[in-house]
Amino acid sequence: MHTENDIYKEIRPYNDSEVSEAIERLVNDKEFISAILNYRFPQLSGVFGWLLTPIIKRFLINKWSNVKTVDDVQKQVAKYMHATIDHSCDGVTHTGLDKLDPAKSYLFVSNHRDIAMDPAMVNWCLYNNGFDTVRIAIGDNLLKKPCATELMRLNKSFIVKRSAKAPREMMKALGLLSSYIAHSLETGNSIWIAQKEGRAKDGNDKTDPAILKMFFMDGRKKKIAFPEYMKQLNIVPVAISYENDPCDIAKAKELYQKATEGSYEKGELEDIESIIQGIVGQKRRIHVSFGDVIENGFETPEDLAQVIDNQIANNYHLFPANYIAAEQEHESATQEEKQRFEEKYASLPDGVIDILKQMYAAPVHNKS
């Protein structure tokens, strides 16, 4: 019998025995230290970078000296999350957790609006309600720098190899991923995964059946029928709603450029900028809706995708901006809120404004 360590070693998060070495590699990673310098001390990082580097290193060594296990890392992340929530939003609410059992493991299939905050918000709600935090699926397109890989794998993230292009290599990577997800759930570890690759930039939350087919690869290998195998996974759809999306204008501009020029070329650091903007940008209120465990109502991946989509659409929490964008009357859509929404896009070109409004209106139209 293989241990988890060897067959999943390339993709899995770090375990307790690997935490200290990973932290040591991070502290000695020049790119990581200079990223902290640029972020915390932008005025000083250029000229005095050489002076500040050893100070930052010593600070991190002291700060993380007691971080020895995966649990210790989660406690540190919770502290950062607390500060982030205080600075960048007006509170987090959630529904549906009372129907779930902290002793069970779940496969949380979530809508995808923000690269880092989506799984972080799910974790925040779980952590504060006596549930274990999840293992997070993350695409290798976000792990171009070694320090990003270290950070993510320390924070219970496992790697989805999107860069595998040859069919054989791709099938092998997907098979390993499918098996790892099943193994995690069997060993009592819940999973967070987005319902499709990439964020729903237009506000339409749709599940890609290909992801469900990937889950089933392990079931097919075990010769279990699709409905039966998927039922074992304890799939819970999750709808995350941000009153204000800090990346909304960037998303609208990208979609506008695609619509008018036919393509959009992503900048080298664009994903990182989106992550930072999503974390520090103003989100106002956030609501996380945990749905019901899916046990039936499907025969095929397409059927199951529809069941997930229906729960996400109907559980999505609407804020004033959604009603205003959809031009629907609602008591929360006050004159003050309308003014605030208009101010957001006052200086944008008309085409971009239309897309921005559609983005906020989509969840209203998608409720059945």
Q: pLDDT in tens for each of the 368 residues of the chain?
A: 455 558 999 999 999 999 999 999 999 998 888 888 877 777 776 667 778 889 889 999 998 999 999 999 999 999 989 999 999 999 999 999 999 999 999 999 999 999 999 999 999 999 999 999 999 999 998 888 888 899 999 999 999 998 888 999 999 999 999 999 999 999 999 999 999 999 999 999 999 999 999 999 999 999 999 999 999 999 999 999 999 999 999 999 999 999 999 889 888 778 888 888 999 899 999 999 999 999 999 999 999 999 999 999 999 999 999 999 999 999 999 999 999 999 998 999 999 999 999 999 999 999 96
CATH for 4-317 (1.10.10, 3.40.1130, 1.10.3470, 3.40.50): 3.40.1130
pLDDT the model gives residue 250: 94
Instruction: Domain ranges for the chain, please list them.
Output: 4-317
d(Cα 27, Cα 352) in Å, to the nearest integer?
Answer: 42
Q: Are 160 and 177 in contact (CB under 8 A)?
A: yes
pLDDT the model gives residue 163: 82
Q: What dihedral angle (degrees, nearest 10) is formed by the CA atoms of 247, 326, 119, 24?
A: 10
pLDDT the model gives residue 46: 67
d(Cα 340, Cα 359) in Å, to the nearest integer?
Answer: 16
pLDDT the model gives residue 1: 43
Task: Using alpha carbons, select from 172, 202, 128, 219 the residue that is nearest to residue 11.
Answer: 172
Give me the residue label for tokens 């609006």.
113
Q: How far is CA 206 from CA 114, 121, 255, 309, in A?
A: 15, 20, 17, 6
Task: Using alpha carbons, select from 218, 213, 137, 140 the residue that is nearest to residue 175.
Answer: 218
User: CB-based contacts of 98: which residues, under 8 Å, 6+ apart?
Assistant: none
Phi, psi angles (nearest 5°) of residue 244: -130, 125
Specify the length of the chain in residues: 368
d(Cα 169, Cα 19) in Å, to the nearest integer?
Answer: 29
Pairing of strands 284-290, 89-95: parallel
